[in-house]
Structure formats: C-alpha cells, structure tokens
Structure 1
Amino acid sequence: MHTNIIFDFDSNKDINTWSVVDDAVMGGMSNGTFQLSKDGHGVFTGYVTTENNGGFSSVRYEFEKMSVEGYENVVIKLKGDGKDYQFRIKASRSDYYSYIREFSTTGEWEEISIPLSDFYPSFRGRKLNMSNFSRNSIEEVAFLIGNKKKESFRLIIDKIELK
C-alpha cells in the first residue's frame, strides 16, 4: 500500500506553517496553543469555553495542493486525552467550508483511519446540503475541538498521511 505524507513531525520540523484559530475570531474566549515537543511531536493544548458564544479551538496547516487520487484514507498517528475531536480537510483553502469527520481518542497512542469519502461538508457547525468529499486534491488540514462544554484538551500528533 502506498502512502503520501501530509505532515510527519520530528524534532527538526518547522511548525510555523501551522496556525491556531480559536473562537476569539467571533468573540469567544477559548485558547489553544500549538508547539513542538522535545521528542518531536506536535502538541495542541488549551482550554475551550462556551462563554461569549464561544466553544472551539483549532489548529490548521495549509500546504501546496496535494493530490489524493489513488488514496482512500487519511491516517493519523496521535495520542489524545479521551476527548472527541474533528479532523478537517479543505479541497481549496479559498472554500468557505471544510469537510469534517469526528473521531474519539482513547488516551493512548493510536492510528485513526478515516475514509476520505466519510468527510462531510460543514460550515460553522452546520452540515451543508452537498455531497461528501470527492475532490482530487487537498490544500489544508485541521484539528478542531468543540464539544459544547468547558474543558481543557491535549492532543499529541505524530504523523498525518494518505493511504
């Protein structure tokens, strides 16, 4: 089975191309950070609060257009905190919506495999009346937490790839 690496963290990686977007963009008060750990993993941590109509934190990675032809799944090696997250992809960074898929974490290192065809279009938490992902390429991936409650979070990411 062939793979295509979207991002593989290691201690020498530059993560300046990743950016945190919190609900502060709409007046909320959630706060996320993204750092590279000493052992070479991406660490997305913070606190989500529903105050001021908030309730989410996300970290995004934009890149040159990458073909997804011939691949069926996005596979993410990560260690979560037992909470639920969304993984999001964009076919074009200029799209106002993302294709999203929720996943749960166990608190242990695990590989999450999500069929590309499972990603559904969503904008501001609402599913759009459009078909699921069937595009030929992607230009952005993101992790988002927004479980409609106040909670701290910690997601450690090792690798994101297409398989």
Structure 2
Amino acid sequence: MSRFRGLWQASVNATKRALSWNLEDLVPPNEKYIFNFSSAEELKRWHLYSDSEYGGLSSASLEIQNPVNGSSCTGLFSGNLSLDINESSKWNISRSGFCGMRSKKFDGFIDLDAYDTIALKLKGDGRCYISTIYTENWVNFPGQQEDNSWQAFVFVPKDNWYIAKIPLARYLPTWREGGFPGAKSGPGDFHIEVDWIKALRSQT
C-alpha cells in the first residue's frame, strides 16, 4: 500500500508540473535576450583578454556608458591594438595584435536550441570584428580541454547604430583570417559600443 501511495504521489507531482508549464515553455518567444548592457552589473559577466598576457602590447577595457538624451546604458569595449612585442617577454611569439571580451560561464551553457540567429545592436569604428560562440565538447581528445569555438565576422559601420544579424549556420568551426572589403584593420585604437545581444527565432 505504501508503495502504491508513493507512485500515486509521484504521478500527482508530475501532473502539477505539467499544468504549471506556461506558453513560453511550449513555444519559445521569437527573441531572447542573452546579454543586455543596462547596468554596471553586466560587467561582472565578462572577461577581457589580449596579447599582453603573452608579451604583446595591446590593451582593452570594458565600461558602461551612461544614458544620453533618454537612451539606455550601453557597454563600450575599447583599447589599442599593437603589433609590437615586449622585448623582455618570456613567451616565444613572433606575432601579436589581438584583444577580446568573453562572457563567463556562471550557470553553464546558454540553451539556444530553439533559435537560428544571433543579433547584436552595435555602434563602432568601421572595423571588422569576430563573434565567437563556444559549445561544449561532446568528444574529448587527449590534451583537448577547451570548448569548441565557432566564429563569424561582423562588420560594424562607423558612428551609427547597426543591428547585425548572424545566422548560426554562418558560424565556422575554425578561425580564418579575413574580413569585409573596406573594413578598417591593423594596429591602432578601436572602439565598439554594444547595446544588447539577442537570440532570434526567424523560422516558425
């Protein structure tokens, strides 16, 4: 009798969970915020990196831009790309010149199974940037500890807000040099302002 009661209670609990599902659980919304630079708290979700960790002389910073004329807060990623190498570097490198910002994994991976496009609201300097998505390794090879990375180029027009939409199918599993014709490249100052990053579901 006690075993039957336990099974019955488990069935009741499962029914309650099913009834508590809302529409979003069954049909995901057409868009989902992934990151929104609406406050200084957002900065805690990101990690900055550059070639300075290996003896390069590039630098980068990420800060929140306060609202102007009723606009919302945004994140400003800026710095300087340098191809030079510190002569006292202990690393045996012959090339430098990279900076980046990478989100931290607080709660594991973000579920994007229901979506097919990444959208970013950006304002930049006419440079070409790289958007990277990291996915969990399903097969681990000896010595391979990093997550798989998928990358796509993003050209950001100068001084005007622009919403870049990148289909997930455009992300490539390997890094390739290149960019967009006419995009500014090479050493020097850079800056890109980010309002938000979303996942979109364009296919129904």
Which structure has the larger Rg?
A: 2
CA contact (8 A) 2:118 2:168 kept: yes
Code of the residue aligned with 1:47 in structure 2: it is N
Structure 1 position 4 matched with structure 2 position 32: yes
CA contact (8 A) 1:97 1:122 kept: no
**Higher helix residue share:** 2
Structure 1 residues without counterparts, runs of 5 or longer? 127-146
Scaled by the length of structure 2, what TM-score is found? Answer: 0.64
Sequence identity (%): 23
Q: Write the distance in 2 (CA, Å) between the matches of 1:119 and 1:24.
A: 27
| Corresponding residue number in structure 2 for 1:115 | 167
| Corresponding residue number in structure 1 for 2:153 | 102
| Corresponding residue number in structure 1 for 2:188 | 151
Q: Write the distance in 1 (CA, Å) between the matches of 2:136 and 2:130.
A: 18
Deviation at 1:14, TM superposition (A): 3.3
CA contact (8 A) 2:121 2:164 kept: yes
| Corresponding residue number in structure 2 for 1:21 | 49
Scaled by the length of structure 1, what TM-score is found? Answer: 0.79
Deviations 1:125-149 (A, max 9, x none): 67xxxxxxxxxxxxxxxxxxxx4x2
Q: Write the distance in 1 (CA, Å) between the matches of 2:59 and 2:134.
A: 23
Q: Secondary structure at the match of 2:157?
A: coil
**Higher strand residue share:** 1
**RMSD (Å) for aligned C-alpha atoms:** 2.1
CA contact (8 A) 2:135 2:148 kept: no
Structure 2 residues without counterparts, runs of 5 or longer? 1-28, 68-72, 86-94, 138-144, 178-184
Deviation at 1:41, TM superposition (A): 0.7
Deviation at 1:17, TM superposition (A): 1.9
| Corresponding residue number in structure 2 for 1:61 | 103
